[in-house]
Amino acid sequence: MKGIIKKVFCALMVAAVGISAAGCGEASTMERIEKSGKLVVGTSADYAPYEYHTMIEGKDTIIGIDISIVNEIAKDLGVQLEIVDTGFDGLLAALNSDKVDIVIAGMNPDEKRKKAVDFSKIYYEAKQGVMVRAEDKDKIKTIADLSGKNVGVQLGTTQEKIAQDQMTASKLVSLGKIPDLVMELKNNKIDALVVELPVANGYIKNNNDLALSEINVEEDSGGSAIAVKKGNEDFVALLNKSLDRLIEEGSIDKFVQEANEKNVTQ
Ligand code: ARG
């Protein structure tokens, strides 16, 4: 099929049966990266040690586990790296509208997201935790202790879902950014914050007024993976190859350690 006929046919097929536009003449993720010579990565840099802002030689810079990983991926692909920092809640929409080539943001590949995008293999696993004010650690030990209290979660995250499902007697406060939620906790506006353990531990290390509660959060979110627009299986295979290399070399563990050491989030 040629020209206009193919375009019309493709538009109909994409609309009618939801086939991937990539197979229909629209540039695939890989083609776009090759053409531009850069890998555009969407993230939400409010999530130390995964991705966060820090001052390096007087310049605001985004670093973290995920950034070290995509740096290596860009090297493997032989292209430049460009980071787009946006709210976590808007990341998959940015991916599906081609504003970014991939999303890496400590994102769990849950069933709902898998319907909208594809995921690489899991590159890192972490459990969930509940952060409280240090002075409340002995008072807030079970989910029942959170009854009637304000619990903070990041908007559109696994933690929001966990809190909705398991902390039904609490009032949920969903905000866009983790540092804002931590401020709310410190200022007694919320009483607990559900986050991934590495995130909680970073804040606790740097703030002695914060502590990890004994609360055990049940979850099966199964770790973090990179999101890619559907219909890019070959590109996902390339990403997995890079991730395999990094996992085998022990680089991811090294990135985690480095990001934890550099994490001075107040
Ligand atoms: N792991 C959680 C999720 O997938 C939270 C991730 C938040 N990431 C961030 N960069 N703020 O929903």
The neighbouring-strand residues paired with 127 are none
Average pLDDT, the chain: 92
Residue 157 CA: nearest ligand 1 atom is: 12
Residue 66 CA: nearest ligand 1 atom is: 10
**What residues does each domain of the chain span?**
2-124+222-262, 128-212
pLDDT surpasses 80 at 63: yes
How many whole angstroms from 30 Cα to the centroid of ligand 1? 25
- Give the predicted TM-score (pTM) of the model: 0.89
How many whole angstroms from 50 Cα to the centroid of ligand 1? 9
What is the residue whose two structure tokens read 């890019």?
A: 232
Give the pLDDT confidence score for residue 220 in this predicted structure: 73
Pick the more confident residue, 89 or 13: 89
Q: What is the distance between the alpha carbons of residues 217 and 166, in angstroms, rounded to a whole number?
A: 8
Structure tokens at 198: 């590495």
How many whole angstroms from 44 Cα to the centroid of ligand 1? 8
- Average pLDDT score over residue span 147-174: 96
CATH of 128-212, one of 3.40.190.10, 3.40.50.1390, 3.30.1360.20, 3.40.50.300: 3.40.190.10
The interaxial angle of helices 251-262 and 197-206, nearest 10 deg, is: 30
Same fold, 2-124+222-262 and 128-212: yes
% of the chain with per-residue pLDDT over 70: 90
Does the Cβ of 119 fall within 6 Å of ligand 1?
Answer: no
Q: What is the distance between the alpha carbons of residues 64 and 255, in angstroms, rounded to a whole number?
A: 7
At 89, is the secondary structure helix, strand, or coil? Answer: helix
| Strand pairing category for 171-175 and 80-85 | unpaired
Residue 178 CA: nearest ligand 1 atom is: 11
Does the Cβ of 181 fall within 6 Å of ligand 1?
Answer: no
Q: What is the distance between the alpha carbons of residues 152 and 107, in angstroms, rounded to a whole number?
A: 18
Structure tokens at 26: 């629209």
- Average pLDDT score over residue span 111-121: 97
Does the Cβ of 154 fall within 6 Å of ligand 1?
Answer: yes
How many whole angstroms from 195 Cα to the centroid of ligand 1? 8
- In this structure, the dihedral spanned by the alpha carbons of residues 4, 95, 81 and 226, taken in order and rounded to 10 degrees, is -130
Give the pLDDT confidence score for residue 262 in this predicted structure: 87
Out of 50, 85, 107, 265, give the residue to mutate to test ligand 1, the one with the largest number of ligand atoms within 8 Å of its CB.
Answer: 107
* Nearest C-alpha neighbor of 130 from the set 166, 105, 156: 166
pLDDT surpasses 50 at 1: no
At 6-60, the pLDDT tens digits run 556 666 655 555 555 545 567 899 999 999 999 999 999 999 999 999 999 999 9
Identity of residue 185:
L
Residue 45 CA: nearest ligand 1 atom is: 10
Out of 50, 154, 174, give the residue to mutate to test ligand 1, the one with the largest number of ligand atoms within 8 Å of its CB.
Answer: 154
Structure tokens at 205: 């290390």
- Average pLDDT score over residue span 217-245: 93
Domain with residues 2-124+222-262, CATH architecture? 3-Layer(aba) Sandwich (3.40)
Does the Cβ of 196 fall within 6 Å of ligand 1?
Answer: yes
Give the pLDDT confidence score for residue 26 in this predicted structure: 78
At 170-211, the pLDDT tens digits run 999 999 999 999 999 999 999 999 999 999 999 999 999 999
Does the Cβ of 105 fall within 6 Å of ligand 1?
Answer: yes
